């Protein structure tokens, strides 16, 4: 379900947090339709941070996809669990120069590389530097 929400082009609409400007500009709505649409939205204080959705999706994709990559490394037919994560890994592998990870995506990719080398302690350290996880008590102890 998380994959369906994250891969949707209308993630804000899926979470009832508003509509993206591009789709809103294409449709002309009456006053009643706008009122009904606003009534369906989640109040701002109950909305989920979209960056948190991305971090959780990428982290779970990493935990599912890295063992899958290792297992199916030499097979012709590759099973792909998360296309977005697989594409992200391939993009980072094609880069000539790697810089210090700054965004949460970069940190997850670095953790995925460490996990692929079976260095789970380094992967955990990289994941625990992500702001969302650094706030949790479980990550502060380790």
Written as tens digits, the pLDDT of the chain (142 aa) is: 566 666 666 666 656 566 655 455 556 777 787 777 777 776 766 677 778 888 888 899 999 988 888 887 776 566 777 888 888 888 888 887 777 888 888 999 999 999 999 999 999 999 988 888 877 777 666 5
Residue recorded with tokens 């508003």: 18
Q: How many residues does the chain have?
A: 142
pTM to 2 decimal places: 0.68
- Supply the pLDDT for residue 20: 54
- Supply the pLDDT for residue 131: 85
**Could you give the 3-state DSSP secondary structure of residue 36?**
helix
């Amino acid at each position: 379900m998380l994959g369906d929400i994250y891969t949707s082009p209308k993630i804000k609409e899926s979470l009832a947090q508003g509509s993206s400007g591009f789709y809103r500009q294409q449709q002309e709505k009456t006053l009643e339709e706008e009122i009904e649409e606003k009534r369906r939205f989640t109040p701002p204080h109950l909305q989920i941070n979209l960056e948190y959705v991305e971090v959780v999706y990428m982290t779970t994709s990493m935990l599912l996809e890295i063992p899958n990559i290792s297992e199916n490394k030499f097979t012709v037919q590759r099973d792909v669990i998360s296309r977005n994560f697989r594409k992200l890994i391939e993009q980072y592998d094609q880069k000539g120069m790697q810089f210090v990870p700054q965004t949460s995506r970069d940190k997850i990719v670095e953790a995925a590389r460490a996990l692929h080398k079976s260095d789970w302690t380094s992967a955990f350290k990289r994941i625990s530097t992500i702001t969302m996880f650094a706030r949790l008590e479980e990550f502060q102890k380790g």
